[in-house]
């Protein structure tokens, strides 16, 4: 097992250092979201028709590599913005294929509070604005009656890299706190008003775990794998929701537009968890570019088709929400629109 992990690490080091991997090393290359990385590692290890090299470098990195056409697909937890879309050739140039949905959880390291902390969206935003600075502040205490909160400074931890997880988190904060909306807003790399940065979900979870008084946000699987507590977040209905798979599924079971770009944060569902999102594989609609062969394009499309069908069986065991029937149908339509030389690949 250690030998296999070392091989994977070597592949990532070679890819990120600019050393080209041989054609025999992998058939499909992807990069991007660390949010979905635990799921992708399992899916791609199980997929036998092609070898897949996926680099967990954050959504911003995946978008940059796809823009530079150095990977076959990027993965992002945020849809492309107008500037990113323009750099890739316009609205019709890039396709968004939903892969799964998951929860962004608020994790913390508060001595004496092992679990069950409750936070409203407004108070969470005020913590990240630097307005609420102590764990025993009135704002936090009001949501946690009977909990002995320490007189300890809150150490805010956020992502240092361009991140779809940050986009999901700030998209939610923008919807629930007008001060956050006017001063910071939603972005993959916002101008953080306070705190320390960690690279990737891995970096944030590591900083939170080693820093007493810390608060951070990570994908649910990272919190579970690292045995870290996470907060119940108040939703639009006023209920404090545990970020379970069922609550995430309820949030993401919505009408899907044809381009699949939809936000599911701050859900209207009274039992839904409010900080949830889809993650999307991004590919060029026209696959005949940079000397790519039709065979390469077909391998990519067949992989992504498998992801949204057979690959969904791996979602729930890893704490991701499987795609709804509506999302699968939308993903199929998007994949069928991909072309090589103007002709459909699938």
Listed residue (115, 110, 57, 101) closest to 275, CA to CA: 101
State yes or no: pLDDT of 17 exceeds 50: no
- Give pLDDT tens digits for 101-126: 999 999 999 999 988 999 999 999 99
Q: Which CATH architecture fits 103-225? A: 3-Layer(aba) Sandwich (3.40)
What is d(CA 163, CA 235) in angstroms, rounded to the nearest whole number? 23
Give the rounded percent of residues in the chain with a pLDDT score beyond 70. Answer: 92
Strands 240-241 and 52-56: unpaired
Degrees (nearest 5) of the Cα angle 166, 94, 337? 130
Give pLDDT, residue 115.
87
Mean pLDDT for 250-275 is 92
Q: Report pLDDT digits (tens) over 259-268.
A: 999 999 999 8
- The pLDDT confidence band at residue 26, using thresholds 50, 70 and 90, is low
In sign, the C-alpha dihedral spanning 174, 179, 180, 186 is positive
pLDDT value at position 315?
96
Taking 70 as the threshold, does the pLDDT of residue 10 lie above it? no
* Burial degree of 332 (CB within 10 A; 0-12, 13-18, 19+): middle
- pLDDT, averaged across the chain: 91
Residue 172 has pLDDT above 70, yes or no: yes
Report pLDDT for 24: 38
Q: Is the pLDDT of residue 14 over 80?
A: no
The CATH fold assigned to 2-102+277-344 is D-Maltodextrin-Binding Protein; domain 2 (3.40.190)
Cα–Cα nearest to 220, from 39, 9, 32 = 39
Q: Where are the domains of the chain?
A: 2-102+277-344, 103-225
pTM equals: 0.83
Q: How confident is the model at residue 3 (pLDDT cuts 50, 70, 90)?
A: very low
pLDDT given for residue 19 in this prediction: 34
Please tell me if the domain spanning 2-102+277-344 has the same topology as the one spanning 103-225.
yes
- Is the pLDDT score of 202 beyond 90? no
The model's confidence at residue 225, banded by pLDDT at 50, 70 and 90, is: confident
Angle at alpha carbon of residue 338, lines to 47 and 88, rounded to 5°: 105
Return the number of other C-beta atoms located less than 10 Å from residue 2's C-beta.
6
Does residue 147 have a pLDDT over 70? yes
Q: Is the pLDDT of residue 22 over 60?
A: no
Across 33-50, average pLDDT: 94
Query: In Å, how far from its chain's centre is CA 187?
Result: 13
pLDDT of residue 8: 39
Mean pLDDT of 328-341: 97
CB of 216 closer than 8 Å to CB of 195 = no
Q: Write the DSSP assignment of 64-95 as a string of letters.
A: HHHHTT-SSEEEESS---HHHHHHTTSTTTEE
């Amino acid at each position: 097992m250690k030998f296999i992990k070392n091989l994977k690490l070597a592949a990532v080091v070679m890819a990120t250092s600019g050393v080209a991997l041989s054609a025999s090393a992998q058939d499909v290359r992807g990069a991007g979201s660390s949010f979905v990385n635990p799921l992708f590692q399992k899916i791609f290890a199980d997929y036998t028709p092609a070898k897949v090299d996926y680099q967990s470098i954050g959504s911003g990195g995946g978008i940059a590599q796809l823009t530079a056409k150095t990977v076959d697909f990027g993965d992002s937890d945020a849809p492309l913005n107008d500037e990113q879309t323009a750099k890739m050739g316009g609205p019709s140039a890039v396709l968004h294929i939903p892969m799964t949905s998951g929860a962004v959880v608020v994790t913390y390291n508060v001595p004496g509070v092992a679990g069950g902390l409750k936070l409203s969206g407004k108070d969470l935003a005020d913590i990240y604005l630097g307005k609420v600075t102590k764990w025993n502040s009135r704002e936090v205490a009001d949501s946690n009656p009977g909990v002995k909160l320490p007189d300890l400074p809150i150490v805010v931890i956020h992502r240092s890299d361009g991140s779809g997880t940050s986009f999901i988190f700030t998209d939610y904060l923008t919807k629930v706190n007008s001060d956050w909306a006017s001063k910071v807003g939603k972005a993959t790399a916002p101008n953080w008003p306070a705190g320390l940065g960690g690279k990737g979900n891995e970096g944030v979870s590591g900083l939170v775990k080693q820093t007493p008084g810390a608060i951070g946000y990570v994908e649910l699987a990272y919190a579970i794998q690292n045995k870290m507590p996470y907060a119940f977040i108040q939703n639009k209905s006023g209920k404090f929701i545990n970020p379970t798979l069922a609550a995430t599924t309820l949030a993401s079971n919505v009408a899907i537009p044809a381009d699949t770009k939809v936000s599911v944060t701050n859900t209207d569902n009274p039992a839904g968890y409010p900080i949830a999102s889809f993650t999307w594989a991004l590919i060029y609609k026209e696959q005949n570019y940079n000397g790519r062969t039709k065979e390469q394009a077909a391998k990519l499309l067949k992989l992504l088709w498998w992801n949204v069908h057979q690959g969904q069986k791996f979602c729930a065991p890893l704490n991701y929400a499987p795609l709804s029937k509506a999302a699968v149908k939308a993903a199929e339509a998007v994949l069928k629109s991909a072309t090589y030389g103007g002709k459909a690949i699938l």
